[in-house]
Amino acid sequence: MKKLNTILLIDDDETTNYLNHRLLNRLEVAPDIRVVMNGEEAIDYLSYAFAGVPEYPRPDLIFVDIKMSVMDGFEFLEEYQQYTPEQKGNTVLLMLTSSASFYDLEKLKQFPDVRRHYSKPLAEADVREIMQEYF
């Protein structure tokens, strides 16, 4: 399995972050896994990353939860769309959700940057599929 440099987990659920971080570490997907607790923190991180600040490496893969406080996943996606293709580079953006409602899945279609959604927490089969399909 190919190794990525940096993964960004965006979720306000500490348990989910712990489980996803632990799985990604165990599978040795990336040496650098960053965790932020909401979309606002993620936008702050990405503004530094896309500006080339070395302490904020550009993520190869971003997992975004839909339901979060402060700034939810959809609000994050609206902000993320403002970045240029050059800024985003080859970053793969995937959504995580614990409730795949019809409304949420339909709304995701408005955001072309989102490649797919997965139920949380991630399973080993999900990670292997993601790595094979996108990297």
Confidence at residue 98, expressed as pLDDT on a 0 to 100 scale? 81
Q: pLDDT value at position 135?
A: 95
The number of folded domains in the chain is 1
With respect to residue 133, please indicate whether it lies within any of the assigned structural domains.
no
Kindly state the average pLDDT of the residues 71-77. Answer: 94
How many residues in total does the chain contain? 135
d(CA 16, CA 14): 5
What is the domain range of residue 29? Answer: 13-121
Q: pTM for this one?
A: 0.95
Is 80 exceeded by the pLDDT of residue 107?
yes
User: Does 129 map to a domain?
Assistant: no
Quick check: 121 and 20 in contact, CB under 8 A?
yes
- Is the pLDDT score of 74 beyond 80? yes
How is residue 14 written in tokens?
């500490």
Mapped onto helix, strand or coil, the DSSP state of residue 93 is: strand
CATH code at position 33: 3.40.50.2300
Q: With pLDDT > 70 as the criterion, what percentage of the chain qualifies?
A: 99
pLDDT of residue 129: 97
- Tell me how far apart the alpha carbons of residues 128 and 40 are, in angstroms, rounded to a whole number: 29
Specify the DSSP element, H or E, that contains 48: helix 39-50
Report angle CA 31, 60, 75 to the nearest 5 degrees.
120
pLDDT in tens, 13-38: 999 999 999 999 999 999 999 999 99
Which residue has better confidence, 45 or 100?
A: 45
Confidence at residue 101, expressed as pLDDT on a 0 to 100 scale: 78
38 close to 71: Cβ distance less than 8 angstroms: yes
